[in-house]
């Protein structure tokens, strides 16, 4: 095993200072639920863990501006913290739905939102939810704080020496409906085999006014599926539209995956999951 040391930071600026100390390679350590597995596999090089779990700024949860205001979610908020915050879950049901399916109680007590986003697993539960909510990340860097959409963190991973302080997103309009669907091998304790996060809204004229769709573990990266979103906006919700969207999702999956061994099984699941999600969001 490689040589590793440990230090605990008590503020964001102290953590950034430690992470950028010359002569030693340092990594942020949050709940450790991904990092400990990487450590056991020998994937963590020699260096130093900078424990960020006791930094109060990373634990904040705030809603500003009422029902259609803005949510600020600290990167160090755990899945259990989210589930215990009944007001937050009532306002943003996607957080509760994804949190409830997440691992077992011990993992939920440790696993943080920030770790879930930075680890960027295709099967992550919170990452697609934050992309669907159009969240931005506030990143603390030696030169100061900057802001980046979570969707961009997937294509351009966070450079070393920085930490995510918090995520922010607008509370969806009251007329919006959302759903988080997840398929896994067993009911609990395993990561998702496939997931689908959807948020949408029907306008006063009965046509679909908004569509956000983020699959997990279907495409190579977790991202919105614009071709399917564009099929929906402006249309009247109908079973035939939902089926066509399910088929489009399958076509996109096959084009990207090149028809791996699991493709026949996944095709059926992807089309049915898409239809089910669309019914939940746009159905009567
Ligand atoms: C048994 C088990 C079950 C699991 N089940 C699920 C599941 O159902 N769903 C799911 O999505 N995941 C699951 N996971 C994976 C893991 O729990 C999550 O990805 C979790 O959210 C990681 O958070 P953490 O705080 O433990 O991150 P860590 O392991 O501490 O860190 C992960 C990575 O993020 C970096 N990091 C952490 N916080 C920050 C920050 N604020 N700024 C910058 N970098 C940061 C670390 O340096 C590291 O590279 C499971 C893991 C295990 C071991």
Whether 66 shows a pLDDT value over 80: the answer reads no
Q: Are 266 and 218 in contact (CB under 8 A)?
A: yes
188: confidence class by pLDDT, cuts 50, 70, 90: low
- Type and span of the H or E element at 209: strand 208-216
Residue 114: both structure tokens together = 């920030």
pLDDT above 70: percentage of residues in the chain: 95
Q: How far does residue 52's CA lie from ligand 1's centre (Å)?
A: 13
Which comes out higher in pLDDT, residue 78 or 258?
78
64: confidence class by pLDDT, cuts 50, 70, 90: confident
Q: Are 147 and 136 in contact (CB under 8 A)?
A: yes
pLDDT of the residue at 234: 98
Whether 273 shows a pLDDT value over 70: the answer reads yes
Residue nearest to atom 27 of ligand 1 (CA): 115
Count Cβ atoms below 10 Å from residue 74 Cβ, excluding itself.
23
Residue nearest to atom 47 of ligand 1 (CA): 28
Alpha carbon of 121 to those of 14, 117, 218, 268: distances in Å?
28, 8, 12, 23
pLDDT above 90: percentage of residues in the chain: 85
Q: Do domains 4-51 and 177-282 have the same CATH topology?
A: no
Contact residues for 188 (Cβ-Cβ < 8 A; gap 6+): 103, 104
The whole-number average pLDDT for the span 212-225 is 95
Q: How far apart are CA 138 and CA 132, in angstroms?
A: 17
The whole-number average pLDDT for the span 232-251 is 97
The average confidence (pLDDT) of the chain is 94
Residue 6: both structure tokens together = 């440990």
Q: Which pTM was predicted?
A: 0.96
The whole-number average pLDDT for the span 108-133 is 96
Count Cβ atoms below 10 Å from residue 258 Cβ, excluding itself.
7
Q: How far does residue 53's CA lie from ligand 1's centre (Å)?
A: 12
Max CA distance (Å), the chain: 64
Which comes out higher in pLDDT, residue 155 or 207?
207
Domain edges within the chain: 4-51, 56-170, 177-282
Whether 275 shows a pLDDT value over 80: the answer reads yes
Whether 210 shows a pLDDT value over 60: the answer reads yes
68: confidence class by pLDDT, cuts 50, 70, 90: confident
Q: Are 117 and 98 in contact (CB under 8 A)?
A: no
Q: How far apart are CA 18 and CA 208, in angstroms?
A: 49
CATH number of the 56-170 domain? 3.30.465.10
Q: Closest ligand 1 atom, CA of 123?
A: 11
Q: Which of 59-73, 109-123, 142-156 has the lowest mean pLDDT?
A: 59-73
Ligand 1, from 116, 141, 156, 167: best to mutate by most atoms within 8 Å of Cβ?
Answer: 116
DSSP string, 97-161: HHHHHSS-HHHHHH-BHHHHHHH--TT-SHHHHHHHTT-EEEEEETTEEEEEEHHHHHHSPPPTT
Residue nearest to atom 15 of ligand 1 (CA): 34
Considering the segment(s) 177-282 as one domain, its CATH architecture is 2-Layer Sandwich (3.30)
Residue nearest to atom 50 of ligand 1 (CA): 103
Q: How far apart are CA 31 and CA 6, in angstroms?
A: 14
Q: How far does residue 264's CA lie from ligand 1's centre (Å)?
A: 30
Whether 126 shows a pLDDT value over 90: the answer reads yes
Considering the segment(s) 4-51 as one domain, its CATH architecture is 2-Layer Sandwich (3.30)
pLDDT of the residue at 279: 98
Q: Closest ligand 1 atom, CA of 127?
A: 11
Whether 187 shows a pLDDT value over 80: the answer reads no
pLDDT of the residue at 2: 60
Whether 186 shows a pLDDT value over 80: the answer reads no
- Type and span of the H or E element at 199: strand 194-202
258: confidence class by pLDDT, cuts 50, 70, 90: confident
- The residues lining ligand 1, judged by C-beta closer than 6 Å to any ligand atom, are 27-35, 37, 52, 75, 102-103, 107, 110-112, 114-116, 118-119, 121, 124-125, 158, 163-164, 191
147 phi/psi in degrees, rounded to 5: -125, 135
């Amino acid at each position: 095993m490689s040589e590793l040391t440990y230090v605990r930071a008590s503020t964001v600026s102290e953590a950034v200072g430690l992470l950028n100390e010359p002569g030693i390679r340092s990594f942020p350590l949050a709940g450790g639920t991904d990092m400990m597995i990487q450590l056991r596999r020998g994937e963590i090089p020699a260096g130093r863990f900078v424990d960020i779990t006791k930094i109060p700024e990373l634990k904040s949860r705030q809603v500003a501006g009422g029902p259609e205001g803005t949510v600020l979610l600290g990167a160090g908020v755990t899945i259990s913290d989210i589930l215990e915050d009944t007001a937050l879950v009532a306002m943003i049901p996607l957080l509760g739905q994804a949190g409830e399916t997440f691992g077992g109680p011990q993992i939920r007590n440790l696993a943080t939102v920030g770790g879930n986003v930075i680890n960027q697993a295709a099967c992550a539960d919170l990452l697609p939810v934050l992309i669907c909510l159009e969240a931005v990340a506030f990143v603390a860097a030696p030169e100061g704080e900057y802001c980046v959409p979570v969707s961009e963190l997937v294509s351009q991973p966070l450079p070393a020496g920085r930490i995510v302080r918090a995520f922010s997103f607008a509370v969806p309009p009251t007329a919006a409906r959302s759903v988080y669907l997840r398929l896994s091998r067993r009911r609990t304790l395993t990561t998702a085999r496939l997931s689908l996060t959807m948020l949408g809204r029907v306008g006063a004229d009965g046509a679909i006014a908004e569509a956000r769709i983020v699959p997990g573990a279907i495409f190579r990266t977790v991202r919105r599926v614009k071709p399917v979103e564009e099929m929906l906006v402006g249309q009247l919700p109908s079973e035939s539209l939902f089926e066509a969207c399910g088929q489009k999702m399958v076509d996109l999956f096959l084009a990207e995956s090149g028809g791996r061994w699991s493709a026949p099984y996944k095709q059926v699941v992807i089309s049915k999951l898409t239809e089910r999600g669309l019914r939940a969001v746009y159905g009567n």
